Amino acid sequence: MKQFNIKKVNRNLEPEIKKKIDNLTKPKGSLGRLEKLAEQICLIQQTLVPSLREPHNVLFAGDHGIIEEGVSVSPKEVTWQQLSHFSKGGAGINFLCDQHGFRLILVDAGVDYDIPSGHGIIDMKVGRGTRNFLHGPAMTEEEMNLCIERGARIVEEIHTGSGCNVISFGEMGSGNTSPSAVWMHLFTGIPLEKCIGAGAGLDNIGIRHKYDVLSMAVANYKGVDTVEAKIAWFGGYEMVMALGGMLKAAELGLTIIVDGFIMTSVILASSKLYPAIMDYAVFGHQGDESGHKLMLDAMGVKALLHLDLRLGEGSGAVCAYPIIESAVRMINRMDSFQSVNVTKYF
């Protein structure tokens, strides 16, 4: 497996950051989570004057063999149809990226369709959808490693080419809440039933069927007891490629904005390989998928937004960006008490 050099952030600057924030013209702590966010961004960038440059949202798409078991109301062809739709600019993630100044990068990680060239979609296809993990591993170890390497390469190229220092990740893949729920269960110990939700719109009967299928798949697991083996057995190509992208982003010192249920499961898996990645993660939103709050709680983190979103695509992460931007503007643009001769009033 590709190795990454991910270091915990150096906290030597922390007293100076806190001092600067506490001496801005406001009561101490009165800007709440903006102050914590500003501190985190300063530590990631190792500066008292942080900046956000060239934000990107990288959207990986892939199909899942487990969809053959009726665990999703979305048919498989929706994956390539939506990926094509993204390339034309009329989807949810498109207007959000336009609104907040993100460049949207589209990647075919493993869609079960031959997407024509010339649509601005990067071809990183590892296979035409994963295998059905009810009966065996979704991907081989070699395929997992290829996904990680390709995801890392995408992020490195973005960073080198544009100077991007803040990045979010999105996904498209019918049925991908199923592998996400399994990862959540395996990597937190939360009972599987509490990890499973409606996905794209299952009713109660559908959710129960989904639980039956996934519980059988977990019981059928014949791999070794390692994080890597479980990632490969149950993961999706788009999920593992995002995992590689997140690990590379942390290695490069980028701020990672984490999207909803699926991308939270990806950074959860990433953290089991490299715990220090959590220093670089800002959790954009708490989604409406059942289990997302439990997963966030298990990781000891709190999302910036709770808008009942369950779209995926990176939509919640991009929605949260203005809050992160406000935190950076706060520490850079607010006056200090000393600079404007205002008496400290707390």
Instruction: Convert the pLDDT of each residue in 240-289 to its tens digit.
Output: 999 999 999 999 999 999 999 999 999 999 999 999 999 999 999 999 88
What pLDDT was estimated at residue 288? 85
Write out pLDDT tens, residues 214-240: 999 999 999 999 999 999 999 999 999
Q: Count Cβ atoms below 10 Å from residue 288 Cβ, excluding itself.
A: 18
What's the pTM value of the predicted model, to 2 decimals?
A: 0.96
Q: CA–CA separation, 104 vs 119, rounded Å?
A: 13
Q: CA–CA separation, 194 vs 324, rounded Å?
A: 31
Ranges of beta strands (E only) in the chain are 56-62, 103-110, 121-123, 166-172, 255-258, 281-283
Q: How confident is the model at residue 345 (pLDDT cuts 50, 70, 90)?
A: low
User: Of these residues, 54, 143, 313, 325, which one is catalytic?
Assistant: 313
Mean pLDDT calculated for residue range 27-54? 97
Active site residue 68: no
What pLDDT was estimated at residue 320? 98
Mean pLDDT calculated for residue range 77-106? 96
Looking at residue 234, the DSSP 8-state letter turns out to be H
Distance of CA 271 to the CA centre of its chain: 12
What pLDDT was estimated at residue 223? 94
